[in-house]
Amino acid sequence: MAVFAMPSLGADMEAGTLVEWMINPGDTVARGDVVAVVETQKGAIEIECFEEGIVETLNAEIGDTLAVGAPLATIRAPGEKVAPTAEPKPDVPPPTAPAPVPTAPAPTVVPQAGETPLASPAARVLAAERGIDLAALTGTGPGGAVLLADVESAPFEKAPVKSSAKPGLDMAAMRTAIANAMARSKREIPHYYLSQTIDLQAATDWLAATNATRTPDTRLLMGALFVKATALAASQVPQMNGHYNGEGFHPAKSVHAGVAVALRGGGLVAPALHDAETLPLNTLMTQMRDLVARARSGRLRSSEMTDGTITVSAMGDTGADAMAAVIYPPQVAIVGFGAPVTRPWIIGDTIAQRMTVTVTLSADHRVSDGRRGAKFLAALDAALQTPEAL
Amino acid sequence: MTDADIRKAFLEELTQVAPDIEPDDVGDDDHLQDDLELDSMDFLNLVTALHQRLGVDIPESEYPKIATLALAVVYLKGRIS
């Protein structure tokens, strides 16, 4: 019997709020199935299952805010017998935070047994939202417990207005998450930075010629070439690709390229494109389009939030010449692409006008040094010189 | 299609691509990328949507001709007729 627990969806996550179950007891689940949707500071995330088997129990209710590691469900492995007695209570002490004020990011308050009335978690959340005193209600549940329906039918003053600009994305909360992750990065990771200006004319010409023959739905963006070239370089220089944790550096076998997506209103997420080094460019572009769309709508998957092994951040068509980015822990490198710009360029003994881009590698000095970093940038440069091979 | 039809279609597709932009907030001369902060992916999605809705395939070299609402209405009208 496996306990399926609230996953950590990033270095900065402490808790998440369950907003939807996609499974019921008795359902068969496989690894990678989306089993629940959890609201986090980074928006609503689809939680994927790491087990396979049959759902035995659901241990959390819609509206519960649960700490990372808190049990969500139990899953019986295939062939495992049904437990003869009631499942032992998962060995996680219930949170006993005394704060009764429903501020947005605070973990749900599960009151200490005693004076507070019995009520289901969902009922508590709704009551808190509507400013209803649970003690004033008559519960219809077991032992007089207040159920969600009891709260729903209770009269209440006008619901407090949420500050969130749109469902699933609370920019203030996201800003806090970014602040925590970036502060941790700068506190713990000794960054070093290397920049290289790369001749982008071959890639620019190839992209223009390719896109001229395509309808808009199949066109490529330079950003896709940047991601693929970065992934190829990362696969050649393993010290840039992986995670650093308490036991040191763990190089990754594949390159899951985090793609930094800026959200209007001040948010930023970097979901991962899995196995980017192996994806044909057209496939990579299609997946990137899907990823960006879901980042904007606040519907990313848990694996996309946690699997990134290196991040790519690109300024776009216009903007600053260069970007020295901050590494996203537990990763060990991030690659910042400035806006491509036409510059005078020396080829042989003549000066030519070429499209160029300045690429800046920020890397973790605990894992690599400047020589490795330079090798990485050289590999990236080389990949962009043969765009047709990307 | 009248100018008003094209304008409506453009604004609908724009706000579909960028749901956090209100149609009323889009000025005739607002630059889609500099003022409304569309990135290259948003812009490509808009071009794709206009192709599907109006049948106008805008080549990359002509992207500057739809850089603002006012420019786009003139350009799309010319391409449709």
Please give the pLDDT value at position A117. 65
Please give the pLDDT value at position A109. 38
Question: How many interface pairs between A and B have CB atoms less than 8 angstroms apart?
Answer: 50
| Nearest chain B residue (CA) to A296 | B18
Q: Which residues of A touch B (CB under 8 A)?
A: 165-166, 208, 211-212, 215-217, 219, 221-223, 262, 264-265, 288-289, 292-293, 296-297, 316-318
| A49-66 per-position pLDDT tens digit | 888 899 999 999 999 999
Top-confidence residue, A97 or A215: A215
Residues A61 and A197 in one domain: no
Spatial distance between the Cα atoms of A87 and A26, rounded to a whole number of angstroms: 15
| A224-245 per-position pLDDT tens digit | 999 999 999 999 999 999 999 9
Instruction: Select from B38, B39, B43, B63 the residue whose CB has the most chain A CBs within 10 Å, as the one to mutate to test that interface.
Output: B39
Contact B10, B73 (CB under 8 A): yes
Number of independent structural domains in chain A: 2
| Nearest chain B residue (CA) to A166 | B20
Contact A212 B59 (CB under 8 A): yes
**Quick check: helix, strand or coil at residue A351?**
strand
Please give the pLDDT value at position A293. 87
Domain that holds residue A13: 2-76
Q: CA of A137, closest CA in chain B: separation in Å?
A: 39
Contact A166 B20 (CB under 8 A): yes
> Does some domain include residue A102?
no
Spatial distance between the Cα atoms of A329 and A310, rounded to a whole number of angstroms: 10
pLDDT band per the 50, 70, 90 thresholds, residue A196:
very high
Strands (E), A69-138: 71-76
> Does some domain include residue A167?
no
Residues A71 and A195 in one domain: no
**Quick check: helix, strand or coil at residue B63?**
helix
Q: CA of B40, closest CA in chain A: separation in Å?
A: 7
Contact A335, A381 (CB under 8 A): no
Contact A265 B39 (CB under 8 A): no
User: B3-80 falls under which CATH superfamily?
Assistant: ACP-like (1.10.1200.10)
Assign residue A12 the CATH number of its domain: 2.40.50.100
| A290-308 per-position pLDDT tens digit | 999 888 887 899 999 999 9
Look-up of token digits 């910042």? A336
> Does some domain include residue A158?
no
Contact A296, A270 (CB under 8 A): no
Assign residue A300 the CATH number of its domain: 3.30.559.10
Spatial distance between the Cα atoms of A380 and A235, rounded to a whole number of angstroms: 11
Please give the pLDDT value at position A163. 37
ipTM above 0.85, yes or no: yes
Please give the pLDDT value at position A105. 43
Q: Which whole number is the average pLDDT over A326-331? A: 96
- Concatenating the DSSP letter of every residue in A170-238 gives -HHHHHHHHHHHHHHHHHH--EEEEEEEEE-HHHHHHHHHHHHTS-GGG---HHHHHHHHHHHHHHH-G
Spatial distance between the Cα atoms of A204 and A221, rounded to a whole number of angstroms: 10
Contact B41 A221 (CB under 8 A): yes
Domain boundaries, chain B: 3-80
> Does some domain include residue A49?
yes
Q: Which whole number is the average pLDDT over A68-83? A: 82
